Structure 1
Amino acid sequence: MTAPAHPAAPTASAEPAPLRTLRLTLVPALHPTLDGPAVPLVDPSTPPPRPPHRPGPRPTPPGQRRTPVDAFGPAWSVRADLPDPRAAGRLLLTTTLEALAGRRPLSQVQRLTSPGVHAALTQGRPPAWCREGTAPLVLGPVHVCEPVDGVAEVSAVARRAGRAHAVAARLEGVDGRWRCTALTIG
């Protein structure tokens, strides 16, 4: 018995298939071309958003000179004047968790936080997972997002006794250093 011929193999008696003609169809572009009219990206009738309030040097009244006393107060810093936010965030989160666990005084967190955050830490009750147990607190990698110039949002995962807890903070540049203005410990 002979094996059947492979169906795709050409045989001597098979005729070549007729060639099909290709048809080109033009489809209109979904986006404007660079040659066409300019499309405004912002509605000119809408006013631009106001920048967030940021403290800075106090304004000098017209006709008066600025004295060192008038310039006293916090001034916002731009990102170029600030250190690495990842290192500052790691220091803040580690110091805060150790203070809440009772391993260091809470006063050491004061220089890293705003008065409101420090008051909340001293008056509030720390989470149970921070204050209970003797297992070490391990802070994972610190993730940084900088939504605005001079502002950094940091987050990390803190582990203790096999459990994971989220920790996040908002850092704002004031007088050339990062200061925590919001803190969340989950």
Structure 2
Amino acid sequence: MNDTTTSGTGPVRVRPIPECSPPPIDPEQLQVAETAPAWDQGMLAVEFHGADESWFGPQPTSSRDLPEPQQWAGHIAQALVEVMSGTRPAPQVIRFTAPEVYSAVARRSAVAGRRGVVSGRRAVVRRVLVCEPADGVAEACAVVVDHDRVRALAMRLTGLDHRWMVTALQVG
């Protein structure tokens, strides 16, 4: 084999690997190391004395930073009705419901699952009305047709962490 490559990049050179061993330890450094603690973890210089506890929980969001409530209420109402009738898994709505609302919806889903699949039409949201009594709060009512029965669904939506969350639910 030649010392030059055929691609014209020049001759191939072999270079020795540099010495990468650490330098010898000075005896004076050993004495300092013996007096130092065996383990010293550095600390991040952060002070929470002036921090407000509200920084660490869910943050209220203004209505202008949230999606349009009319359309969103229609979508979440349809999802909640499907969960309560057993045609949609309950964990799909956990992100958009308060814990007490989710437990009620999941309980109704489990009851519907034990009852078995009921023949007939699937539940459909026909109409949604929304009012906004305060900034970051919307109240919605929906007309639902569920297996040839007409039902009402009332929800309170609260803006938290830049999304609507169902904080109260009443099914009639």
Q: Residues 126 and 169 (structure 1 numbering): CA distance in 2 closer, same or farther, change over 3 Å?
A: farther
Q: 2:138 and 2:76 mapped to 1: Cα distance?
A: 13
Whichever residue aligns with residue 65 of structure 2, its letter is D
Gaps in structure 2 of 5+ consecutive residues: 1-46
Whichever residue aligns with residue 104 of structure 1, its letter is R
Alignment TM-score, normalising by the size of structure 2:
0.62
1:104 to 66, 76, 88: 88
Q: 1:154 maps to which residue? A: 140
CA deviation vs aligned residue, 1:110-141 (integer Å, no higher than 9, x gap): 1110111112222357888xx74331222112
Q: 1:171 and 1:95 mapped to 2: Cα distance?
A: 15
Whichever residue aligns with residue 173 of structure 1, its letter is G
Whichever residue aligns with residue 134 of structure 1, its letter is G
Q: Residues 122 and 160 (structure 1 numbering): CA distance in 2 closer, same or farther, change over 3 Å?
A: closer
Q: 2:100 and 2:127 mapped to 1: Cα distance?
A: 26
Q: 1:94 and 1:165 mapped to 2: Cα distance?
A: 13
SS at 2:139's partner residue? strand
Q: Residues 132 and 154 (structure 1 numbering): CA distance in 2 closer, same or farther, change over 3 Å?
A: same
Q: Is the counterpart of residue 184 in structure 1 residue 139 in structure 2?
A: no
Question: Contact 2:85–2:109 at 8 Å: present in 1 too?
Answer: no
Q: 1:90 and 1:109 mapped to 2: Cα distance?
A: 14
Q: Residues 156 and 127 (structure 1 numbering): CA distance in 2 closer, same or farther, change over 3 Å?
A: farther
Please, which moves more after superposition, 151-160 or 161-170? 161-170
Q: 1:136 maps to which residue? A: 122
Q: 2:151 and 2:111 mapped to 1: Cα distance?
A: 10
SS at 1:140's partner residue? strand
Question: Contact 1:98–1:104 at 8 Å: present in 2 too?
Answer: yes
Q: How does 1:81-96 map to 2 (within 5 A)?
A: 81-96=65-80
Q: 2:62 maps to which residue? A: 78
Please identify which structure carries the higher helix content: 2
Q: 1:176 and 1:113 mapped to 2: Cα distance?
A: 14
Q: CA RMSD in A?
A: 2.8
Alignment TM-score, normalising by the size of structure 1:
0.57
- Identity %, equivalent residues: 37
Question: Contact 2:96–2:164 at 8 Å: present in 1 too?
Answer: yes
